[in-house]
Structure 1
Amino acid sequence: MKRLLIVFFIISFVACQEADILRENPSGIYTADNMYVTEAHFRSALNMLYQNYRNLYYGGDDNSFDLQLATDLSHAGQDGIVRFFSDYPATLDPTAAKVLYHWRGNYKIIANANTIIGRLPASEVPIEAQPQLEGEARFFRALAYRYLVYLYGGVPLILEETTSAKNDFTRSSKEEVIRQMIDDLQFAASNLPSIPDLPDGQVSKEAAKHLLAESALAIGENELAIEASSQVIGNPALALMTDRFGSRRNQPGDVYWDLFQRNNQNRSSGNTEGIFVIQFEPDVPGGGQSTIARTGYQMERWHTPNVPLATDPDDRNLIATGFLPTSIVGRGAGWLMPTFHFSNEIWYDELGDIDYRDMRVSEYNFPRGVLYNNPSGPAKYQGVYFDINTDENQHLLNTSGIWSRGAYPYQTKATTPGDHPSNLILNPETMQLRDIGGVTYTDWYDMRLAETYLLRAEAYLAVGNTTLAAVDINTVRNRAGAVSVDASAVDLDFILDERLRELGIEEKRRLTLSRTGRVYANIRQYNRYNADDIQEHHQVFPIPQSEIDANIGAVLEQNPGYN
């Protein structure tokens, strides 16, 4: 009993001190009021915009590839997976997580940019330093609205920091959103430094003008598009790379191949073509890549063939002992397979054969098979090149118009051929990769000068000047060794195909097709996998149903066809 009384006494003493025990004594309180004060604070907030954008569109999950999947560029390699666009109506259901991903991710960037813009005037940042910081924030706001307006059409236009609950959003028109993008980008272009004066990866005057040209095209402001793109092209600090360069210039390859090798994307490597390059640093905190946890942009995993699924060239059966995923091919899953249009049709010459004079379709850049590499496999496969002529591929192409997932043409820019980080190599003799392979270990172009030429060509075409359009297109084609195009052959279809040839899996293809109004038509014509399930209203995504339901103070209208 005595012991019990002592316990009760202790409990009662502790209980009466509860308020003191639970009281917090924070060493510092961080709020928007004290975290947006100095120039260092705003630089930190801007750095978060870069991270937000990289995480949104250069991460490791399937959402990062929504803008290439199910277009005229590529389709799902694994059937029956809704999030891979295996079925358009199911994938673009208004309640789908994928539909919400792009909406919320871009509005997060917009919200953070609005906070920076709104709090700059009252900060301690010197007045002369404020325009550059604001220009950088407005660039990212325009960039985020670019995704929203091309994916969803007209969306709510939010230009100020939201500091309290709001449930009465309404949609602005598509043109209103794009004109706001133009306003933001003109401000950014006037206040950001030129690209030679900035660190690698930081947005520049030229990045703003490149995006301005694209935005102007979207609403028919063609003269503005010509002016903006011409200012980028005319900058003497920028030029297409025409000679071998960089870390592997003495190895077999060509200058197009050099563009995509490790450490070759930035100006510090001598590259004068990159305009906005997404930065990665493997195994560095905040670097966006890990060789231990397979984190980072997994274009290699998605786009390269799943070679263990390759079939015997003499029949359609799987090989009993398969390929070894190697540092040459990468560790592909075969989820982002090329359409036949992308892999073959756009490369045909006047005789209907692939024109290998164009280095962009060479064995270095767009190989059409893989050499069997497993020394423990059957003797009859040793030295066999599994290419597009396998029975399985011929059967699939003849019956359904698609490739086999185990062996198909792919772009080597997806991987780092022969140059994976050393700790990913399981067997140096066979170059077999560890299971953790699949990340693309390079920095990645978000904008480069070759695209600026093609944007200006599109603007020249829109004003009826096919001669100058052909000049710009041929500047890009001549670098690749391709035959020049005659002005009489230049139309929007040719430019869209040239974008595929030059930009391939770099391009956010869905945005381009949406901007030009060609999502439905091009997929119906060139994507045999999705041609039967896409419907005309899939030109844009639905507005997420959860956003409509939460917006009880006003009507947030759904896109037609999704009601």
Structure 2
Amino acid sequence: MKSYKKIAILFTALGTLSVSSCKKVLDQQPKSNITPDLLASTGGVIGGITGVYSDLRNLWGTEGFLYYTNLGVDETLAGGGASASGVDFATYKNYTNNISDVYNALGGVFSIAYQDINTLNGVLQYGPAAFSDVPTRTAYLAQAKFLRAFYYFHLVETFGAVPLHTTFINSATLTDSRAPIADVYAQIIKDLTEASTELQNKPGDNSSPFTGHAATKASALFLLSKAYLTRGWSSAAQPTDFQNALTTAQTLIANKATYGVDLYANYADAYNPTNDATNKEDLFAIEHSTDTKYGDFTAGASGGKINGWAYFFRPNYPTVNANYPATGGASVMTRDIPNGRPFFRVRPNVDYVNNVAFADKTNDFRYWNTFQTTWIANTANVTTPRGTLTVAADTAIWMPPYDPGAAKRAAFKGIIMLPPSIAATATGTNAAPTTNTFFPAVKKFDDPNRPSVNDPSSRPVVLLRFSEIYLIAAEAAFKMNDNNTAATMINVLRTRAAYRTTNMPANAVTNMQVTPAQINIDFILDERVRELYGESLRWWDLTRTQSLVRRVKQYNAEAGPNIQDFMTLRPIPQTEINLVTQGTPIAQNPGF
């Protein structure tokens, strides 16, 4: 996206100021430079849209957002470095009684979303007067429609009924109400339907002012398909939702060349940092950079508008000592940029990951493209009870998803950690279990170009991936009892999943094909884990498909005993409820 940076900073700062001011003095005269006159100018429209893009950095990629999208599900557990609110999200244990931290995390989502929705409403209401050139005006307003729909989609799938605002508010109010879910979805689908015809085919097409990772027609078609799919599962379902979801997904797939999107032959290439600038599977992403002024970059930052995906899923590998699990001895590894900052906020639910989602690690190479299981020695003069580790040659830490056997463990100079269920029955030495501190790392989001080991990532945070459209189509087809189409869609991804650059089994592609008889919702959900592990989607996948409680009880021993049926919605932030002091109060979601 072109860098209208100073205007974007102005809008972001003004929006933040207005939110904090309203919380304190709602009955006083608000003062803001975001006025209808400004939004009717070229600079106002540009600044408003660019400011919203900047604001997305406050959510996706940050720690608080990570907790409420990635924890309390089947594929992950809280890491040993998770905060109190992270543990609440992960286990539901103190979720309803000690929820202040949880409210704070969700309150940020609410306040940022509605701040930006109001800006977008202003752009759409007053922005047409800013441009005499119809194509330029259309391009800008289409961006605003997409972004408004994007926010409302994530609000409604998280909280259920939410306030629906489509006009610009420039004075404080003490009243508000939650709109019916049907009305929110109707607005989302209207905005996305229009955006899918008005946005550029590719970033920068037709002299569009937006380049980089800004929304395109492919972005809008993707989100429109998913909105239909999600509404189809909901209480607001329409009879044609699943058909519309499938048809829209197939339209995107059929026109992938027009939109410049496609699958890479190698799954790993979709996550390769060298492809970030022109990644053909990236349909929409939040940009980051190491620019301290306009990129919101702070060296060594662990909070703020950061992309922390490069280290949230990393174990505390520098604290593994040479005698582990006994105490004493030097650390076998030193933290470095290739192995990442050990933040250990989220860890794999290893038994589910190893034995269910990624049970086939021979034909399906996605496990090995997703997880790091070996750490090569980078520290000199380290000796374990089994020998001295040679830097850059020996493996210092190995976390295989299987037991290599007592003889191999005894001969291995480094430290071996096994999945807990395997370690419990392993005989012999060097068979410690993985823990909430030591676990296989997610490597898909690694950023080898960070200036320093503790720096956040400057890679884009990809929110919409082309590969997911096949899973959306498969789920919609399944709901229409069309398992033939569902299997066809999934097999596109499973064919690609078999690929590797060397030592590819001769029958891997054939063995990866799924038949229509194998398709059910659990197979689709497991396939989503294999394809999209850790990508801030899982809680929504499970709530959309009405599978959260069942699968958490089935696979998540830490959260299963505590989860209840009403937890398929997140609580409305109490801070937002407290702001409505006149008229009918905003009702909290049941159970909270």
TM range (shorter): 0.7 to 0.9
Contact 1:470 1:490 in 2 (8 A): yes
* 1:446 has 2:431 as partner: no
- Partner of residue 85, structure 1: 87
TM-score by length of 2: 0.78
Give the deviation of 1:278 after TM superposition. 2.1
Alignment of 1:62-461 (within 5 A): 62-78=64-80, 81-86=83-88, 87-91=91-95, 95=100, 96-195=103-202, 197=205, 199-220=211-232, 221-235=241-255, 236-237=257-258, 238-243=260-265, 255-267=266-278, 271-283=279-291, 285-291=293-299, 293=301, 296-310=306-320, 315=325, 317=327, 320-340=330-350, 343-349=353-359, 354-362=360-368, 364-379=369-384, 380=387, 382=389, 383=394, 384-388=396-400, 393-395=418-420, 403-416=434-447, 419-421=448-450, 423-424=451-452, 433=453, 436-437=454-455, 439-461=456-478
Contact 1:68 1:510 in 2 (8 A): yes
- Partner of residue 412, structure 2: none
Give the deviation of 1:125 after TM superposition. 4.8
Give the deviation of 1:317 after TM superposition. 4.4
Other structure's SS at 1:281 match = coil
C-alpha distance in structure 2 between counterparts of 1:239 and 1:128, whole Å:
23
Contact 1:361 1:367 in 2 (8 A): no
Q: Which moved more, 1:332-341 or 1:383-392?
A: 383-392
Distance 1:155 1:285, change over 3 A: same
Alignment of 1:445-484 (within 5 A): 445-481=462-498, 483-484=512-513
Give the deviation of 1:528 after TM superposition. 2.1
Contact 2:314 2:441 in 1 (8 A): yes
Give the deviation of 1:370 after TM superposition. 2.2
Give the deviation of 1:177 after TM superposition. 1.4
Distance 1:397 1:102, change over 3 A: farther
TM-score by length of 1: 0.81
Distance 1:524 1:347, change over 3 A: closer
Contact 2:41 2:130 in 1 (8 A): yes
Distance 1:546 1:492, change over 3 A: same
Give the deviation of 1:381 after TM superposition. 5.6
What is the identity, as a one-letter code, of the residue corresponding to 1:303? F
Distance 1:239 1:133, change over 3 A: closer
Contact 1:152 1:540 in 2 (8 A): yes
What is the identity, as a one-letter code, of the residue corresponding to 1:447? L
Q: Which of the residues 53, 56, 61 maps onto 1:53?
A: 56
Give the deviation of 1:335 after TM superposition. 1.2
Contact 2:60 2:461 in 1 (8 A): no
- Partner of residue 35, structure 1: 38
Distance 1:153 1:313, change over 3 A: farther
* 1:540 has 2:569 as partner: yes
Contact 2:357 2:529 in 1 (8 A): no
Give the deviation of 1:276 after TM superposition. 0.9
Please, what is the CA RMSD of the aligned residues? Answer: 2.8
Contact 2:333 2:379 in 1 (8 A): yes
C-alpha distance in structure 1 between counterparts of 2:566 and 2:536, whole Å:
23
What is the identity, as a one-letter code, of the residue corresponding to 1:71? V
Number of residues paired by the alignment? Answer: 499
C-alpha distance in structure 2 between counterparts of 1:80 and 1:260, whole Å:
25
* 1:504 has 2:533 as partner: yes
Other structure's SS at 2:272 match = coil
Contact 1:370 1:385 in 2 (8 A): yes
Give the deviation of 1:321 after TM superposition. 2.5
Other structure's SS at 2:94 match = helix
Give the deviation of 1:231 after TM superposition. 1.6
Give the deviation of 1:85 after TM superposition. 2.7
Contact 1:341 1:527 in 2 (8 A): no
Contact 1:297 1:440 in 2 (8 A): yes
C-alpha distance in structure 2 between counterparts of 1:546 and 1:397, whole Å:
46
Other structure's SS at 1:276 match = strand
Other structure's SS at 2:213 match = coil
Distance 1:463 1:340, change over 3 A: same
What is the identity, as a one-letter code, of the residue corresponding to 1:333? F
Distance 1:242 1:316, change over 3 A: same
Q: Which moved more, 1:185-194 or 1:378-387?
A: 378-387
C-alpha distance in structure 2 between counterparts of 1:282 and 1:405, whole Å:
31
What is the identity, as a one-letter code, of the residue corresponding to 1:240? D
Other structure's SS at 1:413 match = coil
1:194-252 Cα offsets, whole Å, 9 max, x none, are 12525221101110110010110112201111121112111124453444xxxxxxxxx
Q: Which moved more, 1:371-380 or 1:49-58?
A: 371-380
Give the deviation of 1:473 after TM superposition. 0.4
Give the deviation of 1:122 after TM superposition. 4.1
| Structure 1 unaligned spans of 5+ | 1-28, 244-254, 425-432
What is the identity, as a one-letter code, of the residue corresponding to 1:300? A
Distance 1:405 1:280, change over 3 A: same
C-alpha distance in structure 2 between counterparts of 1:407 and 1:170, whole Å:
46
* 1:490 has 2:497 as partner: no
Percent of residue pairs identical: 23
What is the identity, as a one-letter code, of the residue corresponding to 1:194? N
- Partner of residue 551, structure 2: 522
Contact 1:265 1:444 in 2 (8 A): no
C-alpha distance in structure 1 between counterparts of 2:328 and 2:216, whole Å:
50
C-alpha distance in structure 1 between counterparts of 2:322 and 2:197, whole Å:
59
C-alpha distance in structure 2 between counterparts of 1:274 and 1:231, whole Å:
17
C-alpha distance in structure 2 between counterparts of 1:313 and 1:343, whole Å:
28
Other structure's SS at 2:533 match = helix
Give the deviation of 1:179 after TM superposition. 2.0
Give the deviation of 1:342 after TM superposition. 5.2
Contact 2:314 2:442 in 1 (8 A): yes
What is the identity, as a one-letter code, of the residue corresponding to 2:534? I
Distance 1:528 1:199, change over 3 A: same
| Structure 2 unaligned spans of 5+ | 1-31, 233-240, 404-414, 425-432, 499-508
Give the deviation of 1:153 after TM superposition. 0.9
Q: Which moved more, 1:385-394 or 1:145-154?
A: 385-394
- Partner of residue 7, structure 1: none
Distance 1:523 1:322, change over 3 A: same
Greater Rg by CA: 1
Give the deviation of 1:157 after TM superposition. 1.1
- Partner of residue 17, structure 1: none
Alignment of 1:9-28 (within 5 A): none
Other structure's SS at 1:445 match = strand
Contact 1:278 1:446 in 2 (8 A): yes
Give the deviation of 1:464 after TM superposition. 1.0
